[in-house]
Amino acid sequence: MTDLYRLLPEEMEQLVIDMGYPRYRADQILLPLYYKFPKNISELKQLPKEMREKLIEAGYTIGSAKEIHRVVSDDGDTTKLLLNLTDETSIETVLIQYPSSKINGHPRSTICVSTQIGCAMKCVFCATGQMGFEKNIKAEEIVAQVIHFADILQQRGEHVTNLVFMGMGEPMANYDEMIRAVRILTHDRGFGIGQRNITISTIGIVSGIDKLAEENLQIGLAISLHAPNNELRKKLVPTAGPNSVEDIIEAGRRYYKKTGRRVTFEYALMAGINDSSEIATELAILLKGNGSHVNLIPINPTAGDFKRPTQDNVNEFEQILSNAGVNCTVRVEKGIEISAACGQLRTDIIG
């Protein structure tokens, strides 16, 4: 069985030609797939009945993520779904919305997609990391998460504006499927979202960062740093190498040099662990002058025994970085109360 959402437009074109049909039939499949969201091949009414039957006989399907649980934040801006995939495994996907600055504009609608069931990186402060690793998911299952929310938004007269690969799993550890999904989602004959509206987050798999730099894609890169030295980082990220801090900062420099896209370093602030003024100064010295951006994330409640810093501590940490000339912001988290924020995703039903 082959899911049509797995095929790049060029592959779809080759499929219809190999079946003996004219090239334009590919667009008669692609347009409804990415704008009408059919649930099965029989709904592709633009195609001759004979062609639909041939596709089904040849083992082609239209896969979809089946919603089994939905929870919405108190302010209505965040929606978390537990989705059942084609092989009966489940993942969480999140929609985060922000008001548009334009008059009568649509909200900025960001889909936080997952690339794995669980995660093997074992970050001690992340709920997904504490699940352990179950499996990689396929490109079409990544695409299905976006399509599911696109369908929901279309019914509201809205649309997907941004994608972040920051859900469950480490995207670089499922590199080939992740990149196939990105190419489908950004193709002008596919889902058609702008490359610059996508960010891929990694715990710092250097080989993946270097491969991504060679893909000729204008995609944002976010690297989870969380500590300015290797000893502390190893405690927070058990899978980190002995020189991980230096390695990932250098990989970020290479990515910027190759793509021209500024790298963001994500830094989860944990009270009494990595939020002191001394550590902030150490981080400032480390990053000063390298042109990167630091995204400070006060830790979200997870299964671990980690506490958020006080607002004063967060402000002081940010000020130390800013005074040193390091560009930084504090992330405005949404969906914390429904366990939909950074580091909170897992596949048991909560909320």
- φ and ψ at residue 71, rounded to 5 degrees: -140, 140
CA distance linking residue 342 with residue 336, whole number of Å = 8
In angstroms and rounded to an integer, the radius of gyration of the C-alpha atoms of the chain is 21
CA distance linking residue 110 with residue 195, whole number of Å = 14
Matching residue, tokens 């709904």: 43
H helix intervals, the chain: 9-18, 25-35, 49-57, 127-131, 139-155, 175-186, 206-213, 230-236, 244-259, 277-287, 311-323
CA distance linking residue 230 with residue 242, whole number of Å = 7
92 annotated active-site: yes
Q: Which of the residues 13, 92, 140, 266 is marked catalytic? A: 92
Q: Check: CB of residue 201 under 8 Å from CB of residue 165.
A: yes
| Rama region for 263: left / alpha / beta (φ>0; ψ in -120 to 50; rest) | beta
Q: Check: CB of residue 270 under 8 Å from CB of residue 279.
A: no
DSSP 136-194: E--HHHHHHHHHHHHHHHHHTT----EEEE-SSS-GGGGHHHHHHHHHHHH-TTTT---
CA distance linking residue 346 with residue 80, whole number of Å = 11
Q: Which H helix or E strand runs over 309?
A: none
Q: Of 174, 143, 180, 165, give the one whose Cα is nearest residue 62.
A: 143
Q: Which of the residues 119, 123, 126, 342 is marked catalytic? A: 342
Residues with catalytic roles? 92, 342
